[in-house]
Structure 1
Amino acid sequence: MSHLINKTSLVTGASRGIGAAIAKRLAADGANVAITYTRGAEAAAQVVKDIQQAGGKAIAIQADAADANAVAAAVEKTVATFGGLDILVNNAGTAIPKPFVESTLEEMDRVIDINLRGVFIATQAALKHIPDNGRIITIGSCVGERMGTPGLVAYAATKGAVKMFTQGLARELGPRGITVNNVQPGPIDTDLNPANDEWAAPQIANTALKRYGHVDDIAAMVAFVAGPEAGYVTGTSLTVDGGTNA
């Protein structure tokens, strides 16, 4: 597939897991790809190497999603390297699972700073460069729409906010042909939420398909809304959760 040739994408928090899969899929579809990471420089370098070995172009930029200056610099480096920016994927996110009454203010602030404020920061910086008919895609969560997992109160609140952010921004950017969409994963097998972990059993039980999803399931949906065939899809939340919210 090559429907993203001559397009440039920036994927935040993409050194591993869902973000890495998204970066590799967009590159496979022809896009130049920049990824950001906070820690794990070796993992980020490996994502870039994998893309380059497959014939794509990619760079990795260290930038904490909550650091406005670092994110703005990452956007500018992406534009300077590839000559523009067409697709932003707000993937960076975090969760600190524990009962709400036990959560510290510092922990809640960190979840808000990365999952919500970080989306604001990256999107505002990217919109200085994204042309008409560009794409903004945020990775939300199925718990942002229906909460069935105790211990994720603050996380779910930020993902619910991302859903409304998507709808509001889609209205503002619609006249320019820029689409804004929210991809909502359910339980996906990653280092942070492995399918063989003790937390996996109740999540699997909540799905209709009775299994975890794969990172490529999310990457495929992102690739679709990033491409030309999704030009009339905007302001929507696309849930990829194996029927968790069914």
Structure 2
Amino acid sequence: MERLAIYIISDSLGETGEQVARAVVSQFDIKDYEVRRYPYVLDMSFLKEILGECKKDNAIVLYTLVDLELADYVKEYCKEENIPNIDLVNPVMDAIISKTNLTPLREPGIIRKLDEKYFRRVDAMEFAVKYDDGKDPRGLAKADLVLIGISRTSKTPLSMYLANKNIKVANIPLVPESPLPKELFEIPSKKIVGLTNTPDKLNEIRQERLKALGLSSNANYASMERILEEIEYAEEIMKKLGCPVINVATKAIEETAGLILEIMKEHGLELYKDRK
């Protein structure tokens, strides 16, 4: 038997076509075969060149092309030249169209882009957990954004929310008795956003927090005197750093996050969702 040649023609990596080809070949007792993968076939001239080689090689063609012009050309060329060919994408796409009446994006390599976006998000969320609440100040230099503020100013929820936007966030609590990490003063101030709250709102939130923990609501943590002291201390630090400050008292997490994203854009900080 002559050597079996299978050509995989794709507008992305061609991994799907190759996996299908090898899975099917494994069902036969074939030792002499070759699977050739041609990725990123995005123009007609390149496609014609590949098909010319395919004809010489007497090969089978498997293709994953979302561009209808390219896919139709492969189909017609192979029909004229009597080349066995299988379209692995468009018949499935047509079936989905018939069921949903939706229009496909027909964007090459979109699943790979989605995978990359997913892994960036996971990476950002792991980063937010690792560098939450000042656990490791070495993370400040690696962060896209650093949030600072006294207790109960939504630092952690905002860090996780922004991580879902693929932004790596570290946050540092401002406590008068605790020295600030030197790394905080070594990063550009445009990467820092301060968070604050009104005394009354903080008093209310902290009292509820103490109750949830089974502690007395009269603890110093929730006293107005202590809260005013912390707010004053935080304002001094934020002024020294020269960072923008957001009062979260009347804002939902989504609203505050939107303001932070606008600040990042104004400061020229690159957002992952804007990257191509």
Q: Give the TM interval when normalised to the shorter protein.
A: 0.3 to 0.5
Normalised to the residue count of structure 1, the TM-score between the two structures is: 0.34
User: Relative contact order: is structure 1 or structure 2 higher (C-alpha 8 Å, sep ≥ 6)?
Assistant: 1
